[in-house]
């Protein structure tokens, strides 16, 4: 039983994230999506909202589990008994940060393997940060996120919650 932990802020969960989850679900017995509690960030969605939205987006993929974690990623790896960490590599510009994070994690936990997967080329330019910025500036953002995420964002923007 091979489990991979896919950590991230997922604020919001985009079609690029979903693409990666779908791909990983075919390679691993279980994909654990770990939503990070990051006290330093001021997210658009609360942790529970992000978890619930991701669960809804991935409900058709049976071997996906959504959890949250606080603190170090290496502690989450141990807690969830994951065999590896999954991260998406969209462009060369992601590489430096991702390499540093993977090696830092491995220096703290020698058994920590990080696996990188490339999302579909037609989603590889999408970032949660830019999607939020576009949404906040009244641009069209719906095509970059799953439909239920778009609806939830629309409600946030309209001040519904
Ligand atoms: O989606 P993001 O914001 O790029 O995800 C970054 C995340 C949550 C994977 C990263 O910040 C992380 O692992 N945070 C947990 C704290 C930690 O372990 N920090 C040391 C990393 S070397």
Which residues, other chains included, contact 113 with Cβ-Cβ below 8 Å and sequence gap of 6+? 83, 84, 85, 106
Given this model, what pLDDT does residue 92 score? 82
Residue closest via CA to ligand 1's atom 17 equals: 72
CB of 104 closer than 6 A to ligand 1? yes
Atom of ligand 1 nearest to the CA of 7: 9
Given this model, what pLDDT does residue 15 score? 98
Given this model, what pLDDT does residue 134 score? 98
CB of 108 closer than 6 A to ligand 1? no
Tell me, yes or no, if 128 is annotated catalytic: yes
List, run by run, the mean pLDDT of 10-residue segments along the chain (161 residues): 97 98 98 92 94 98 98 98 97 92 98 96 95 97 98 93 60
Specify the CATH superfamily of domain 3-157.
Answer: HUPs (3.40.50.620)
Given this model, what pLDDT does residue 42 score? 86
Give the distance (Å) from ligand 1 centre to CA of residue 73: 7
What is the pTM for the complete model shown? 0.96
> Tokens 């609806």 sit at which residue?
151
CB 87 within 8 A of CB 97: no
- Say what the alpha-carbon torsion angle 43, 46, 48, 52 is, to the nearest 10 degrees: -70
Given this model, what pLDDT does residue 161 score? 60
Atom of ligand 1 nearest to the CA of 104: 22
């Amino acid at each position: 039983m091979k489990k991979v932990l896919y950590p991230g802020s997922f604020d919001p969960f985009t079609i690029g994230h979903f693409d990666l989850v779908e791909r990983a679900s075919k390679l691993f017995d279980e994909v654990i999506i770990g939503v990070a509690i990051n006290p330093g960030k001021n997210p658009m969605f609360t942790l529970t909202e992000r978890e619930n939205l991701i669960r809804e987006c991935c409900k058709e993929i049976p071997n996906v589990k959504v959890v949250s974690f606080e603190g170090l990623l290496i502690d989450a790896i141990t807690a969830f008994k994951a065999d590896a960490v999954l991260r998406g590599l969209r462009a060369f510009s992601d590489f430096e940060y991702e390499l540093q994070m993977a090696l830092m994690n491995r220096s703290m936990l020698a058994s920590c393997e990080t696996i990188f997967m490339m999302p579909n080329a037609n989603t590889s330019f999408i970032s949660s940060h830019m999607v939020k910025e576009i949404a906040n500036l009244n641009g069209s953002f719906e095509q970059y996120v799953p439909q239920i995420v778009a609806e939830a964002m629309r409600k946030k923007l309209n001040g519904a919650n």
